[in-house]
Amino acid sequence: MNVIISASELASELAGPNPPTLLDVRWQLSTAKAGGAAPFDGRAAYASGHVPGAVFVDLDADLAGPAGPAGRHPLPDLAHFGEAMRAAGVSARRPVVVYDGGQGWAAARAWWMLRWTGHPAVRVLDGGLAAWSGPVTTETEELVAGDFEPAPGALPLLDADGAAALARTGLLLDARAAERYRGDVEPIDPVGGHIPGAVSAPTTENVTENGRFRPAAELADRFKTLGVNDAAEVGVYCGSGVSAAHEVLALAVAGIPAALYVGSWSEWSAAGSRPVAAGPDPQ
């Protein structure tokens, strides 16, 4: 099954006899609190207008656990995640489409969580709400609860030790901006730099100017240049397992399976005891 869907394809499916469950996961990484400004409010954005039939899912509350030593967006409690997905109407035998405001990171995190916990048919709206030219509504949806029961393990998952090992034996991609990889700046976490052996691969380079994924062949060429080959295992991390999910999705578009290190740099750097590399070279 394809992992992304175009806006026109989604409009056609929503008008058909068996529309997918539609989840709105608008979210933005924000350091606004440090400057005294209010952070982005995805629920308010949803209330101001969403694709008809969509149900809001809160990334911080439903797709991640509380921030702490395991990172800013660790895995959520699976019982809570399952309850949230069923409340949003997710059922195992009904396809799911996820969208966000257009960046794709939050939608990819929802895609990864549902796929990792065993849902067989989940796609991300390519380009997000920004690509949607159909009607929007402010009406609250009348929901029928779903029956989805999470069964983790359907996609590969890395912990810190696994990420460190993969950086030596396979290919570990760092999906953050190149300046954060190098350690030139670090606006969020206590230490700048990268996991030794990891290769810089900003996820922003997987999309075009309009926020939509590059063609599969183009993505495959990009990842081949970065070191992906038929024999190498691939893993991805970022700051907190959100933009890295977007890179895992881009790899899936290119037909390349990859593991996600959910704790990512926010877990790795918080320990204070793990090695850190700086500069443009992996080591």
pLDDT band of residue 28 (cuts 50, 70, 90) is confident
pLDDT at 272: 87
The mean pLDDT of 38-57, rounded to a whole number, is 93
**Mean predicted lDDT score pLDDT of the chain:** 95
pLDDT band of residue 40 (cuts 50, 70, 90) is confident
Residues 87-100 have pLDDT tens digits of 999 999 999 999 99
Give percent of the chain with pLDDT exceeding 70: 97
Q: What global pTM score does this model have?
A: 0.95
Based on the residue annotation, tell me whether 238 is a catalytic residue of this protein: yes
CA distance 150 to 119: 8
Catalytic residue among 238, 256, 259, 262: 238
**SS3 annotation, the chain:** CCCEECHHHHHHHHCCCCCCEEEECCCCCCCHHHHCCCCCCHHHHHHHCECCCEEECCHHHHCCCCCECCECCCCCCHHHHHHHHHHCCCCCCCCEEEECCCCCHHHHHHHHHHHHCCCCCEEEECCHHHHCCCCCECCCCCCCCCCCCCCCCCCCEECHHHHHHHHHHCEEEECCCHHHHHCCCCCCCCCCCECCCCEECCHHHHECCCCCECCHHHHHHHHHHHCCCCCCCEEEECCCCCHHHHHHHHHHHCCCCCEEECCHHHHHCCCCCCCCECCCCCC
- Is it the case that residue 34 has pLDDT exceeding 70? no
Residues 247-280 have pLDDT tens digits of 999 999 999 999 999 999 999 999 889 999 999 9
Query: Residue 257: which region, alpha, beta or left (left: phi > 0; alpha: psi -120 to 50)?
Result: beta
- Is it the case that residue 157 has pLDDT exceeding 90? yes
pLDDT band of residue 75 (cuts 50, 70, 90) is very high
